[in-house]
Amino acid sequence: MPLPREIQLARLAAEPEWDIIVIGGGATGLGAALDSASRGYRTLLVEQHDFAKGTSSRSTKLVHGGVRYLAQGQIRLVREALHEREVLRQNAPHLVHSQAFVIPAYRWGAVPFYTLGLKLYDLLAGRHSFGASQALSAAETLQRLPTVRPTGLRGGVLYQDGQFDDARLAINLAQTCIEQGATVLNYCAVRGLLKTPAGRVCGVQAEDVETGMVYEVRARAVINATGIFVDAIRRLDAPAAAPLVRASQGVHLVLDRAFLPGADALMIPQTEDGRVLFAVPWHNHVVLGTTDTPVAHITAEPRALEAEIDFILGTAAQYLLRPPQRADVRSVFAGLRPLAAQSGKAATKELSRGHKIEVSAAGLITITGGKWTTYRRMGEDAVDRAAAVGGLPHQPSPTVRLPIHGAQAASAQAGSHLAVYGADVAALLELVAQQPALGEQLHPRLPYLKAEVVWAARYELARTVEDVLARRLRALFLDAQAALEMAPAVAALLAQELRRDEQWQKTQLASFAEQARGYLLI
């Protein structure tokens, strides 16, 4: 189990010099920290908010090679992602599983066209395939997707890809980092970079956000893995640094399961803006998305634009028998993709999802781009570069076959929302056995138990009501109104675990209510 935060802070203060400091607790930063720690390097990860607070909790919940990237001719990227998809399924089987997708076809010739493309997808996956694609008749398509529009339906194509819970994976990665010897801290913000007299980056100035205590922490190498915020960290090193990232906003709407009641996901292969749109079953709800909107303003809490909401609802209405309305939306969330900027490319949808590593003149290593599916490979590449920059002894990366915390091939809770805890389920249920009141459900529309709040505080580094309701439990992303109604009970349980007073609870509830309003379509 992870060590208490107080012990993590004590280790932060006691270590005279780390081998590698990783800034950023999203997918890329956690991947880098795990790779570093598992090689035996003294590793510190600091995150200014919570793990996966930003983009890494706001994905379409897919572990995939990228069918759309295949159409763009990015064969190398697709092949790499398909390999990493299988690695993730092997290392985190409690969170990653195969998901069937159906592409409904309404044009003559569409079925053979998509079948051919997806057979190439199967071929690139090779022995890592999640299942062979196949053409479907109109009747077979309707059997699998009973709520799609039957008028004009010519048939469909079935293919297999991966699905996961992004924020839950991030939390399990943080736990695995600690188990591998790393020190990992959320709510620890980098305020500056330390440099040698010769001008080389040799550490960070980090503030414990909860106490205001500032630490000067030295390291052989520093990795900037802050996603959409990488340029802010780069400018602590070189104030005139040109931007390395272009941000693209992706919005998702969450509906009740009735809109897609079967086991299969819907993939719309061509939208008005040239993207694909998914409707994916997830935690007994349906996630609709996404968009690709260039944005200039970078924030930890982006908000969906009205045009994006209208676009998703309008596109879904063209395919579903019951067109979803604003009143049907349980939650709306937006995330910013940190795309590696390239010259001469106007549209963010055309930018590569491949990753890029830059080493500044002062030795700051910055990694950006990529996606959740390739987080492990990104971490490996970043640590390879950091080891070279820091003059660390070469150690091979073991992460291809390193199980992630909770890994369990088959769970006794399969089919239950508790399955995401994997190997931790028994210990979680023991809490209920010891205190039966913790077995009570927090809200009638969602399955979460009071015990999960206690577990999040004790073993998953949760510090706030938002941490629990957004990322340990996925309530805010599934049903924002229900999350608001659960918040007082969560605050009370959390305050007891973290030894906080009534004023802290009031502040937490006010802060969470303000945030949750951005997830509601009012």
Instruction: Identify whether the C-beta of residue 425 lies closer than 8 Å to the C-beta of residue 94.
Output: no
What is the rounded CA–CA span in Å between residue 102 and residue 144? 8
Instruction: Identify whether the C-beta of residue 437 lies closer than 8 Å to the C-beta of residue 496.
Output: no
**Phi, psi angles (nearest 5°) of residue 271:** -100, 175
Predicted local confidence at residue 350, as pLDDT: 44
End-to-end distance of the chain based on CA atoms, in angstroms? 41
Give the residues of the chain that fall short of pLDDT 70. 1-3, 341-353, 409-414
Three-point CA angle 226, 460, 64, nearest 5°: 55
What is the rounded CA–CA span in Å between residue 50 and residue 155? 45
Q: What predicted TM-score, i.e. pTM, was given to this entire model? A: 0.96
| Separation in Å, CA 121 to CA 145, 157, 349 | 22, 13, 20
Sign, CA dihedral 478-482-483-484, equals: positive
- Residue 314's H or E segment, with its range, is helix 306-317
Three-point CA angle 52, 56, 62, nearest 5°: 135
What is the rounded CA–CA span in Å between residue 516 and residue 148? 31
Instruction: Identify whether the C-beta of residue 98 lies closer than 8 Å to the C-beta of residue 65.
Output: no
| Separation in Å, CA 436 to CA 154, 292, 430, 443, 493 | 54, 46, 10, 17, 14
Strand 214-224 relative to strand 245-256, pairing: unpaired
Three-point CA angle 314, 133, 73, nearest 5°: 70
Predicted local confidence at residue 65, as pLDDT: 87
Instruction: Identify whether the C-beta of residue 366 lies closer than 8 Å to the C-beta of residue 237.
Output: no
Neighbours of 295 (CB within 10 A): 17
Q: Among 220, 223, 217, which residue's Cα sits nearest to residue 192? A: 217
DSSP designation for 397:
-
Structure-token match 């009205």, residue found: 306
Structure-token match 């009970």, residue found: 489
Q: Among 378, 478, 515, 445, which residue's Cα sits nearest to residue 61? A: 478
HSE, side-chain direction, 13 A CA sphere, residue 285: 26
What residue ranges define each of the domains in the chain, with the CATH number in brackets?
Answer: 5-55+167-242+350-401 (3.50.50.60), 66-163+246-346 (3.30.9.10), 417-517 (1.10.8.870)
Q: How far is CA 227 from the centre of its chain?
A: 12
Predicted local confidence at residue 413, as pLDDT: 65
Predicted local confidence at residue 270, as pLDDT: 82
Three-point CA angle 313, 314, 318, nearest 5°: 115
Predicted local confidence at residue 398, as pLDDT: 98
Instruction: Identify whether the C-beta of residue 32 lies closer than 8 Å to the C-beta of residue 22.
Output: yes
What is the rounded CA–CA span in Å between residue 474 and residue 58? 11
| Separation in Å, CA 204 to CA 184, 194, 208, 365 | 15, 5, 13, 13
Strand partners, 185: 46
What is the rounded CA–CA span in Å between residue 78 and residue 64? 8
Q: Of how many residues is the chain composed?
A: 522
491-520 exposure pattern, b = at least 16 Cβ within 10 A, e = fewer: bbbbbeeeebeeebbeebbeebeebbeebe
Three-point CA angle 449, 258, 149, nearest 5°: 155
SS3 457: helix
What is the rounded CA–CA span in Å between residue 414 and residue 408? 11
Three-point CA angle 284, 81, 368, nearest 5°: 95
Instruction: Identify whether the C-beta of residue 153 lies closer than 8 Å to the C-beta of residue 105.
Output: yes
| Separation in Å, CA 146 to CA 150, 260, 265, 278, 330 | 9, 8, 11, 16, 22
Q: Angle formed by the axes of helices 27-38 and 375-390, to 10°?
A: 60
What is the rounded CA–CA span in Å between residue 91 and residue 403? 4
Instruction: Identify whether the C-beta of residue 445 lies closer than 8 Å to the C-beta of residue 482.
Output: yes
